Amino acid sequence: MRVWSLLTRRSIDVDKVEHHIRIGSQNARLAQEQYNTLLIAHSENPNILRQYSVLMRDVYGDDRLGIEMLCEADLMEQGNKIDLLKNEDEFEWNNDIWGVDADQKKK
């Protein structure tokens, strides 16, 4: 934002423009490193991947990669939902084995 305001002035201070572009570039690189760290630590979190895709699209201008990341996040979320349903079924099955009925589960 600061770069655009500097560029719209009558006399352009090239050094200031370069300085702010450099800061923006460094911040983009730091954000990418943080997203990589988050993805390593929380590899099954589709929300991190979605946010990362926004960075790739808006900052780096890579629409194709952003869309691929969104698709992967959707697949990841579907897989997580399937795993949750399996866990619920397994929980029900374990309750049947242990003789826990529905009334006891609600309390």
- Rounded mean pLDDT of the chain? 83
Residue 107 to residue 99: CA distance in whole angstroms: 15
What six digits make up the tokens of 22?
A: 């450099």
Closest by CA to 4, choosing from 21, 22, 23, 29, is: 21
2-6, 40-44, 84-88 — most confident range: 40-44
Closest by CA to 28, choosing from 57, 8, 70, is: 57
Residue 57 to residue 63: CA distance in whole angstroms: 5
> Confidence band (pLDDT; 50, 70, 90) for 86?
confident
> Confidence band (pLDDT; 50, 70, 90) for 101?
low
Alpha-carbon distances of 106 from 100, 101, 102, rounded to whole Å: 11, 9, 7
Residue 27 to residue 38: CA distance in whole angstroms: 16
What six digits make up the tokens of 5?
A: 């305001």
- The answer to whether residue 98 scores a pLDDT higher than 90 is no
Q: What is the per-residue pLDDT for 61?
A: 94
How many distinct structural domains can be found in the chain? 1
**Which residue range(s) make up the domain with 39?**
2-106
Those residues whose C-beta lies under 8 Å from the C-beta of residue 32, and which sit 6 or more positions away, are 55
Place of tokens 């079924």: 89
